[in-house]
Chains A and B, each alone.
Chain A
């Protein structure tokens, strides 16, 4: 458990809680960086009000059915210090005050909890279902222990046709429904636009189409099986999610992977970030018709992925991170090749980036498009490059560092404008910083083994993993059951907190700019729908 600087605010906050007559008690929580408070269910809402007033950032909420109760945990953060608030409600009367009136970020996560566990949030401003469509009924809750994983479907699942979307009425206002199947090669989701002329008046997202029961599937798995599943929460973040899940499991099991393995995880995470940014920088430019950038950057991405395949055995780095360390290593020869390829990429960027920056017609389309103001980004709890492009200077690797980042200086690029151009600039800067860190990690790569054998966790052991994925903060909670099997896994992809930002930043833009705005955010559907 950390104390020190990151928790300088903690004692005063605890005193404030008691001053407001909240029944709080500091208790031992999941192994990891967070301090844990136990709360009375009735104080759940008042706690959030005080936390919001104190400037804590809201990160996540999840629940676990532990008959006859449902244990609910919420994670918050301030100045790099994480706080886990916990309470429990009876399964027969699972009612809690909502955090959403104080933290808009809690809106969809709480509705997810309502759909999957049946927790009712009394003063939630939006009682509609969220991840639930028609695969299960309103009074059924897949994450309850008595709900079977492989329940037979009575027949074809009907479409979720009667979801009550918001409506806009008035002369000249029309509605554009888009999805779940989109025109490009992308994931499914539904967007409901209200527009007047070309301008977007309102966008409402409807997600949950790719819900495949990841949380339920995790139950009963062993550590290896959970790592495999975590690597498929969002295919483009396989390193990030597997690292977070393994970190949680290793903390729960008090298992310390060798330093070489952790440095390699850092290297793999850099490679994942660089590959994704390369793809997206090209795609963002392509969405406004600048095909040159798309061909150039997709060429660079392909080369980068081929190096992944050659050195780490997989183009997307699947299976590289495992409980206890990594399944991959780097030979001296490969070490030189990776360093050489990274230097060559840096040189390519030196040639390409000025072309993007000096192209007036490209900048004309990106500057001022899709603006996310800083206050809105703060209010929504926005993460990663989306937050950083709106002036929020936040990065887990620097603010709550874990090895190897506690040994490295992590520069965090920040832009103030909050538009597509700013998000593109932050991503390009992250490419450069990523290549610097890639070089530093190769230089510092400690010797020794890359893996210690997984030796199991004590019954009931819990761990919390928090890493900075390429999209932003990834959080993973794991609790082990009586036989050392996984009893609960909750992965919080940053997309949960970035999807709502897209709804806001599109306001007032023209409908044809939606693809470029969407790509500049690039939230994961799968990572959100679970």
Chain B
């Protein structure tokens, strides 16, 4: 136990240095994100993530949002287990035809108002996989999309900025 505490103390808080390598600084993005949440969603944003057929690269980077460097929870953003608890749907693609019905069902299960972000080049337009007998292509071909974060996969900093953009646009609209 002492060893654990010693390691925790020695590690310290690593969340700060994350600001150094993101442009604009991650802290700035985070603070704007927090402000947008205060205006729009009573300080908290619940995200439901759905992999609608990705290669799992996007999932690795979305996961990283929870690591101590990005620690997205400190801005009031958390990932929830059910679409019924979610304000925002983060969808990675391409949407495989075998996931098409499940994705629609998840979208339908969300309370309104609801936001959708298509993540990655595949979520944007099908990416490397395009449209085929097995793939519907981008997320927008299946459910309405409010924003797109491109990249293969997008970095955690790009994901944070993408979430912020969609919230700022949404916050500018009447509730």
B54–A210 touching, CB < 8 Å: yes
Out of B52, B59, B98, B132, name the residue touching A186 (CB < 8 Å): B59
Contacts of B53 in A (CB 8 A): 188, 209-212, 526
Determine if B100 is an interface residue (Cβ-Cβ < 8 Å).
yes
Chain B's nearest CB lies how many Å from the CB of A308?
A: 11
A186–B60 touching, CB < 8 Å: no
Q: How far, in whole Å, are A352 and B11 apart by their CA atoms in the complex?
A: 11
B55–A526 touching, CB < 8 Å: yes
Interface residues on A, range: 35 or more
Determine if B152 is an interface residue (Cβ-Cβ < 8 Å).
yes
Chain A's nearest CB lies how many Å from the CB of B124?
A: 15
Binds A, one of B36-44, B62-70, B160-168: B62-70
Q: A209-B102, A301-B67 are in contact. Are A355 and B97 (CB under 8 A)?
A: no
Determine if A229 is an interface residue (Cβ-Cβ < 8 Å).
yes
B51–A210 touching, CB < 8 Å: yes
Chain B's nearest CB lies how many Å from the CB of A518?
A: 14
Q: How far, in whole Å, are A158 and B104 apart by their CA atoms in the complex?
A: 11
Q: A183-B81, A298-B64 are in contact. Are A229 and B57 (CB under 8 A)?
A: no
Kindly supply a per-residue 1/0 record for chain A positions 233-249, scoring 1 wherever the CB is within 8 Å of any chain B CB and 0 otherwise.
11110100000000000
Q: A180-B99, A181-B102, A212-B96 are in contact. Are A135 and B134 (CB under 8 A)?
A: yes
Contacts of A306 in B (CB 8 A): 21
Tell me the count of chain B residues lying within 8 A, CB to CB, of chain A: 54
Residue of A136, A160, A210, A295 contacting most chain B CB atoms (<10 Å) = A210
Q: How far, in whole Å, are A257 and B143 apart by their CA atoms in the complex?
A: 45
Contacts of A210 in B (CB 8 A): 51, 53-54, 96, 98-99
Contacts of B28 in A (CB 8 A): none
B134–A299 touching, CB < 8 Å: no
Determine if A111 is an interface residue (Cβ-Cβ < 8 Å).
no
Closest to B8 in A: A292
Q: How far, in whole Å, are A295 and B68 apart by their CA atoms in the complex?
A: 6
Q: How far, in whole Å, are A515 and B135 apart by their CA atoms in the complex?
A: 28
Contacts of B63 in A (CB 8 A): 185, 279, 298
Determine if A157 is an interface residue (Cβ-Cβ < 8 Å).
yes
Contacts of A526 in B (CB 8 A): 53-56
Q: How far, in whole Å, are A135 and B79 apart by their CA atoms in the complex?
A: 31
B54–A296 touching, CB < 8 Å: no
Contacts of A305 in B (CB 8 A): 64
Give residues 217-255 of A contacting B (CB, 8 Å): 217, 228-229, 232-236, 238
Chain B's nearest CB lies how many Å from the CB of A141?
A: 11
Q: A159-B102, A183-B81, A209-B98 are in contact. Are A299 and B11 (CB under 8 A)?
A: yes
Contacts of B152 in A (CB 8 A): 232, 318
Q: How far, in whole Å, are A232 and B94 apart by their CA atoms in the complex?
A: 12
Determine if A147 is an interface residue (Cβ-Cβ < 8 Å).
yes
A185–B79 touching, CB < 8 Å: yes
Give residues 135-175 of B contacting A (CB, 8 Å): 135-136, 152-153, 155
Contacts of B131 in A (CB 8 A): 150
Q: How far, in whole Å, are A180 and B96 apart by their CA atoms in the complex?
A: 12
Out of B7, B54, B104, B129, name the residue touching A235 (CB < 8 Å): B54
- B residues sitting closer than 8 Å to A (CB atoms) are 3-4, 7-8, 11, 14, 21, 49-64, 66-69, 79, 81-83, 94, 96-102, 104-106, 128-136, 152-153, 155
A213-B135, A236-B60 are known; give 7 further A-B pairs, CB within 8 A: A135-B134, A188-B102, A210-B54, A305-B64, A316-B61, A355-B4, A526-B54
Q: Mind listing 22 A-B residue pairs with CB under 8 Å?
A: A135-B97, A135-B98, A142-B133, A156-B101, A157-B98, A184-B79, A185-B51, A185-B63, A187-B56, A212-B129, A216-B132, A217-B130, A234-B55, A235-B58, A236-B57, A316-B60, A316-B61, A354-B3, A355-B3, A524-B56, A526-B54, A529-B96
